[in-house]
Chain A
């Protein structure tokens, strides 16, 4: 019995404690947006409007400067101009036309997943902005919601308050960042290219343990969590089923569906809308 007491004393010496609260480093690991946001409908309309105004009031285009007289390119250009001229007269002044103008057609073509193919040009492959992960709503995938910031949340093997950001105790020999790095590796594996944003914590959350909970035979009142910001550039989480049993990459709005409301309220201000 005395041996286990000594071991417990040694363990207690290792962890940082303040006023009976365990000092814990939490990790807000984010996957930043990979693609630009979809334009707001008003933005689209406004840019179309401005484009039309410019086209109508621009000085004449010096065709003879850009195209050699009698060349094929010049011929194609003149044909294109004639089509645009006809459409412009219809479009300007009446916003809602059933027949879409060539401008709008151009914009649509840009958003469609198409490759520019001509006889002498190479085929340019463009990946789709909406991935398969989006369609099946795979929360473990890092290819989902490419326009949004995704945050990592992990599931602990307990019944209440199971979903949270990865976190773990700070030891007396290390700093916050070092603790955060170590805990992230312990809980989520080391197969991720992670970069911590500086050494300052970005958020603070204090909570009391329920009375029945005692960690490593030492009585703590609760925990004080300091969240550290980090970015992931490659790799994926590895579940070891010891500390965590599940994980998800979710947007700020989706976190509400996993995490306890009290936790969400404490944590939401740290997170990005986009």
Chain B
């Protein structure tokens, strides 16, 4: 109830009273929603209270034996369908991982330079903004066939030019040459 701060007003009591009277009157208390003196006969409150406190709980479906059997068969068929889908997905991923693993093992045999340069990753993994997830329908303009490359010199260690609004805010530029962390020429080298 007590104020968290107290202060001495710069104005005297009489002047503050004068100011209070000249200020516009606020809405009557009965019109402010939520106030204790609000108009209780307003039907909106009745509706809201009814919905909050008096909606009936959704009952379990009343099924005959035949209906129940049918329902359970459908349920099992659905679960089987999902399981099969999941298995297919898992097999695909397992095959991809096997190939990835094999490739990297073979790369290791070739020597340290290529292998080590392939194994380093960015400290912060970022994906390009253009990498969009699928939608219900395709974009109206279809595929953009008129892509023009940025006129940046690959030897420059620069950010993309500000003329391209999309790429300007893109975290990882498409050109992998630009974004490298320094390559270790010798894996046993101690970094300074």
Instruction: Identify the A interface with B (CB < 8 A).
Output: 16, 18, 23, 32-36, 40, 42-43, 46, 49, 53, 56-60, 62, 64-65, 93, 125-129, 131, 141-143, 146-147, 170, 175-178, 181, 190-196, 198-204, 206, 224, 226-227, 231, 233-236, 269-270, 272-273
Q: Can you spell out 17 A-B residue pairs with CB atoms less than 8 angstroms apart?
A: A23-B114, A34-B138, A35-B134, A46-B81, A127-B138, A141-B143, A176-B118, A191-B148, A193-B174, A195-B174, A201-B104, A206-B106, A236-B145, A236-B147, A269-B98, A270-B99, A273-B88
A195 touches B47 (CB 8 A): no
A178 to B118, CA, bound (A): 10
Cα–Cα distance between A273 and B121 once the two chains are bound (Å): 27
1/0 per residue, CB under 8 A from A, across B30-74: the answer is 000000000000000001101100011111110000010000001
- Tell me whether B114 and A16 are in contact (CB under 8 A): yes
A132 to chain B, nearest CB (A): 9
Hey, which chain A residues are within 8 Å of B128, CB to CB? Answer: 195, 233
Would you call B104 and A23 a contact (CB within 8 A)? no
| Across-interface contacts of A224 in B (CB, < 8 A) | 106, 110
Question: Number of contact residues on B: which range applies?
Answer: 35 or more
Q: Could you mark each residue 91-113 of chain B with 1 if its beta carbon is under 8 Å from any beta carbon of chain A, else 0?
A: 01001101110111011011100
Most buried by B among A60, A200, A227: A200
- Knowing A143-B143, A198-B121 are in contact, say whether A129-B51 is a contact too (CB < 8 A): no
A70 to chain B, nearest CB (A): 13
Q: Is B6 interfacial (CB 8 A cutoff)?
A: no
Asked whether A127 and B140 contact (CB < 8 A) given A178-B177, A200-B118, the answer is yes
- Which chain B residues lie closer than 8 Å to A233 at the CB level? 128, 130-131
- Whether the pair A202, B96 counts as a contact (CB closer than 8 A) is yes
Contacts of B86 in A (CB 8 A): none
Taking the complex as formed, is B165 at the interface, i.e. its CB lies under 8 A from any CB of chain A?
no
Shortest CB distance A216–B (Å): 20
Kindly provide the distance from the CB of A20 to the nearest chain B CB, expressed in whole angstroms.
13
A125 CA to B50 CA in the complex, in Å?
41
Residues of B within 8 A of A195 (CB): 128, 130-131, 172, 174
Interchain nearest-CB distance for B108 vs A (Å): 11
Residue B183 lies at the interface, judged by CB distance under 8 Å to chain A:
yes
B62 to chain A, nearest CB (A): 9
Q: Do A57 and B59 form a contact, CB below 8 Å, given A181-B175, A200-B118, A269-B95?
A: yes
Q: Which 6 A-B pairs have the closest CB atoms?
A: A235-B147, A233-B130, A204-B103, A234-B147, A175-B117, A269-B95
The CA of A131 and the CA of B138, in the complex, are separated in Å by 9
Residues of B within 8 A of A62 (CB): 47, 50-51, 55
Chain A residue at smallest Cβ distance from B167: A193
A40: chain B residues within 8 A (beta carbon):
81
Given the contacts A193-B174, A273-B88, A234 and B143 also touching, CB distance less than 8 Å: yes
Chain A residues, Cβ within 8 Å of B17: none
Is A175 a contact of B100 with CB atoms below 8 Å?
Answer: no
B28 contacts the other chain (CB 8 A) = no
The reply to whether B110 and A35 contact each other, CB–CB distance below 8 Å, is no
Instruction: State A170–B137 Cα separation when bound (angstroms).
Output: 41
Of A128, A146, A206, A231, the contact of B131 (CB 8 Å cutoff): A231
B142 at the interface (CB under 8 A from A): yes
Which residues does chain B contribute within 8 Å of A177, judged by CB atoms?
Answer: 118, 176
Q: Chain A residues with Cβ under 8 A from B177's Cβ?
A: 178, 181
B100 CB contacts on chain A under 8 angstroms: 200-203
